[in-house]
Amino acid sequence: MKFIATRIVQMVLVVLAVTLLAFGAMNFLGDPLFNILGPIANEDAGPEFAEVRAEARAEYHLDDPFIVRYGRWLGDMATGDFGRSFKNQTQVSTEISNRLPITLILMVYAQVLSVLISIPWALWTASRAYRLPDKVSTVVSFGMLGVPVFALVVLLFWLGAVRWEIFPTRYDDETIGARLYSMFLPALSLAIPLIATYQRLLRTDLISTLQEDFIAVARAKGLPQWRILFRHALRPSLFSMLTVFGIQTGALIGGSLVVESYFGIPGIGAAVIEAIIRDDFPVVLAVVVIITVIFVVVNFIVDLLYSFLDPRVRLDG
């Protein structure tokens, strides 16, 4: 329990630090008034705009001290109020709640694909370690790590949608089936580097687990190979992969920006890019906070999962 408490305090501190950093950067490095009003925010624009400027200042509380504004923003956020967009006066929370599920589906889709492909692949190669199929796999997965997502999306789109015409060229959310089908290439683009990462880590851990005595014991029990691999070797070998699973969530978020904008998927990745280009800071801030929270929570869950993988790991350590 002490471990959980420490981790929660740490999580809250990290989220606070990130929000402070982001809010500070927006206010000190940028110019909120300019972002709201555009060129007329400048004093030189003429006295006729003074009233507009004052109105905007009052509306967005720009004259309050930084710490007060930061505090108010945090407080609002805690109640689910992310403020109003600078650009189109809509509630940021509405936009986020429309778009966040799409991004989450995409990320889960990618992780599911990665896990479903990498685990059997790693089991297959580890049980044939240092033989030809394993050597070929090592080269292939090393290559997969070298393809940037922005190159992958074009490559997969060209192959899957243009050349072979297997998948649709547009995002389609008519039905769940259509949505999953049209999200396959985007999810695969995110998954390919993950598959390679997981396969490499899991293979290494599996090879060392397969040297363990309890594997020889399982063999001596006369259990078949597939059962030994899945039931005995897999679970004790998942540690490195699980650790990276948490860290990779960050890469996945970055990748989803690329994938969403290229494939035209209306998730928060695409939203944040639009917002940044339009200098719409409330939206950017909201997305940054949400993404950080997702990232921190996923890593917290990963820590909890360790004790499930190995009963010897106690959470009070």
Partner 1 sequence: MALLEVNELAVTFNTPKGPVYAVSDVSFAVDKGQALGIVGESGSGKSVTVKSLMGLLPRTAKIDGSAQYEDVDVFNMSKDRRKHFYGVDIAMVFQNPMTSLNPVKRIGEQLMEGMRFHRGLSRDAAKSRAIELLDLVRIPDPTKRLSQYPHELSGGMRQRVVIAMALANDPALLIADEPTTALDVTVQRDILDLLDSLRRELDMALILITHDLGVVRDRTDSIAVMYGGRVMETATTEEVFADTEHPYTQALQRAIPDMSMPRGTRLDPIPGSPPDLAITPVSCPFAPRCTFATDECRTSIPPLSAVPGSETHRYACFHPQGLVAAASTVGGEA
Partner 2 sequence: MANAQTTSPLLDEAPAPNPPSIAKQLGLGFWLSVGFLLTIVFLAVFAPILPLEDPNKVAVGSKLEGPRAGLWFGADSTGRDVFSLTIWGARISLLVGFLAILIGFLVGGTLGILSGYFRGWFDKIVSFAFVTLLSFPALILAILITTLLGRTVFWISFSLGILAIAPVGRLARAQTLVFAERDFVTAARILGAKDSRIIVKELLPNVVIPMSALALLGMGIAIVAEGTLAFLGISVNGGLSWGKQILEAGSSVRNLQDGPHAALFPIGVVFLTVLCLNYAGDRIREVFDAKELAL
Q: Which residues are at the interface with partner 2 (CB under 8 A)?
A: 10, 13-15, 17-18, 21-22, 25-26, 29-30, 142-143, 145-151, 153-155, 157-158, 161-163, 169, 250-251, 253-254, 257-258, 261-262, 272-273, 276-277, 279, 284, 287-288, 291-292, 295-296
Does 311 engage in binding with partner 1 (CB under 8 A)? yes
Closest CA to 188 of 110, 88, 71, 264: 110
203 binds, among partner 1, partner 2, none (CB under 5 to 8 A by kind): none
Does 179 engage in binding with partner 1 (CB under 8 A)? no
Closest CA to 217 of 234, 239, 232: 232
Output 61 or 314, the one with its CB closest to partner 1.
Answer: 314
Does 317 engage in binding with partner 1 (CB under 8 A)? no
The residue type at 240 = S
* Sign of the Cα pseudo-torsion (128, 132, 134, 137, in order): negative
261 binds, among partner 1, partner 2, none (CB under 5 to 8 A by kind): partner 2
- The correct pick among 77, 107, 218, 270 for binding partner 1 (CB under 8 A) is 218
The residue written with tokens 């408490």 in the block is 5
Q: How far is the CB of 131 from partner 1 (least distance, A)?
A: 9
Does 312 engage in binding with partner 1 (CB under 8 A)? yes
Q: How far is the CB of 177 from partner 1 (least distance, A)?
A: 38
Query: What mask of x and - would describe binding to partner 1 in positions 87 to 126, judged by CB under 8 A?
Result: ----------------------------------------
Does 227 engage in binding with partner 1 (CB under 8 A)? yes
Q: Considering only the stretches 23-31, 63-71, 159-167, 229-237, report the one whose residues sit in contact with partner 1 under the rule CB under 8 A.
A: 229-237
Output 83 or 160, the one with its CB closest to partner 2.
Answer: 160
Does 230 engage in binding with partner 1 (CB under 8 A)? no
Does 232 engage in binding with partner 1 (CB under 8 A)? yes
- The correct pick among 219, 247, 251, 297 for binding partner 1 (CB under 8 A) is 219
For binding to partner 1 (CB under 8 A), which residues are involved? 212-214, 216-224, 227, 231-232, 235-236, 309-312
